[in-house]
Amino acid sequence: MTHDHRLLALLGPLLLAGNAAAQDFNLDVGAQQSAPLPSASYGAAAARPGQWFGLGTTAQIPVTLTDITGAVTTAVVQPLGGFGDFYVNNPAWLGDDGLLMKDAADVGGAWQGAPGGAITWNFSGLQPGDYAVYTYALAPDFPGTYRTRVDVVGGTGGPQVLTGNWSGSPHVLGVSYARHDVTVGPAGTLTVVTDDPGVPSNNLGTVNGFQLVYTPGAVGTSFCLGDGSATACPCGNASAPGSGAGCLNSLGTGATLGATGAASLAADSVLLAGAGMPNSSALYFQGGSQQNGGLGSVFGDGLRCAGGSIIRLATKVNAGGASTYPGAGDPSVSVRGLVGAPGTRTYQVWYRNAASFCTPSTFNLSNGLELAWAP
C-alpha cells in the first residue's frame, strides 16, 4: 500500500457538515442597489476581496447581512438618521471604485436640523472578538469641500474627519476612508457614528460603505515540535529551536500550524493556518489526543503528533507555502470535527513533499496543536 493510501486509511472518510461562522463583511451603502455592486475581486482599502452586500438607508430598518463568502449571517445593522440615499456620477471614480463610492447615504448637515447631521450605525449579532472597521465617507459631488466625521464607539483612533480630492485607488486614509480597531464583546454589538464636524458651515456629510474585518488573536498550544524537544526526527532533520515547527522538509524549513479565533462551540471562529510547506496538497486533520504522550511518533519525513480518534477536516492546496482551514463555504472546525461537547482536540497538517529527501516517503507533517474547546 502506498504512503498516501495508508494515510487516507488512517484518517478516515471525509465528514460533511454546515456552514462556517461568518466573520468579515464588505458593505456598499447607497441608493443604487439595483446597479452592480463592486466585484468580488475588489478588496478596497482593507485588501479584503469577497462578495459585497448592498445596504440601503432610506427605510431606517434593521438589515440582516451577508458576509464576504455570500453566506447569510446572524449579523444585523440598523442605520438611524440622515436623509436617505443618493447617487452622483463622479467621472474621476472608475470601475469598482465608482461602484462603491458614487452611491452613498446622505448624512446631511447639522444646520439642516434633525434628522440631518448624523447617522448612527448600530450593528448587532456579530461574532465577539477584535475587528478592523473601515468606513468610506467621501462626498461624490464635492469631495474636496464637504467633510464627514467618523467614530467607532470604544474603538482606537478616535474621531476622524474625511475630505479631499481623491481620484481613485489606492484609497487614502483620512481622505476616502477611516480605520478604527475595536473589540466586540459577548453582546456582539458595534456602533459607528458618522456626522457633520460643523466645518464648513454649509457642510453635507456622506457615507459610501464599510468593511468589517475580523482580526482574532492566536489560540491553542503547540506540542510535538521537530526541534529535538520531542521524538527525534527520522534523519537528523530537526528544525531550529524556537521555530515552533515540525521536522525540516526539502526546502530546509519546518511546517508550522497555528490558530486564531474563538474556540467556542457556541461561536466557533477558529482558523487553522499552516505555513512553511511546498506548494503541494496539505491535509488538515483532527485527533482526540496527543500521540505518544505529546512526543509524537516517526511518520514519513516527520512526526505524527495528533493521535486517538482521527477526523479528516479537508485537503487544501498551498500557495506561497501556506494554506488555511476553513475557507469560503467550509464548515467550521468544531462542526467538521464533530466536537459536540467542551474538551481538548489536537490538530496537525500532513503535506506532500515529493522531492527526494530524508526517508523514501514523500510526505511530512507540521507541529501538533491542541485546542481546548469551551461551551
| Confidence (pLDDT) at 70 | 87
pLDDT exceeds cutoff 50 at 6: no
- Note the pLDDT tens digit of each residue in 323-341: 999 987 789 999 999 999 9
| Confidence (pLDDT) at 10 | 43
**Domain locations along the chain:** 3-18+217-373, 25-214
pLDDT band at 17 (very low <50, low <70, confident <90, very high): very low
Please state the rounded mean pLDDT for residues 291-314: 98
Residue 327: other Cβ atoms inside 10 A: 12
| Confidence (pLDDT) at 34 | 65
| Confidence (pLDDT) at 243 | 92
pLDDT averaged over the chain? Answer: 91
pLDDT exceeds cutoff 50 at 15: no
pLDDT exceeds cutoff 60 at 295: yes
Question: What one-letter code names the amino acid at 367?
Answer: N
| Confidence (pLDDT) at 22 | 46
All cell numbers assigned to 345: 482536540
- Note the pLDDT tens digit of each residue in 28-83: 999 776 668 999 999 999 988 889 999 999 999 999 999 988 889 999 999 999 99
Percentage above 70 pLDDT, the chain = 93
- Note the pLDDT tens digit of each residue in 267-285: 788 889 999 999 999 999 9
Give me the sheet containing 52-55, strands edge to edge.
52-55, 25-29, 209-214, 129-136, 177-184
Residue 213 CA to residue 67 CA, distance in Å, equals 10
Please state the rounded mean pLDDT for residues 12-26: 48
Residue 140 CA to residue 24 CA, distance in Å, equals 26
Please state the rounded mean pLDDT for residues 108-133: 94
| Confidence (pLDDT) at 19 | 32
- Note the pLDDT tens digit of each residue in 188-245: 999 999 999 999 999 999 999 999 998 877 899 999 999 999 999 999 999 999 999 9
Q: How far is CA 7 from CA 279, 293, 311, 339, 365, in A?
A: 19, 21, 12, 22, 12
Which residues make Cβ contacts (< 8 Å) with residue 196, sequence separation at least 6?
107, 108, 109, 110, 111, 116, 117, 118, 147, 148, 149, 203, 204, 205
| Confidence (pLDDT) at 4 | 38
pTM beyond cutoff 0.85: no
HSE of 134, CA atoms in CB hemisphere, 13 A = 25
pLDDT band at 21 (very low <50, low <70, confident <90, very high): very low
Which CATH number describes the domain made up of 25-214?
A: 2.60.120.260
Question: Looking at per-residue confidence, does 13 or 246 come out higher?
Answer: 246
Please state the rounded mean pLDDT for residues 141-165: 97
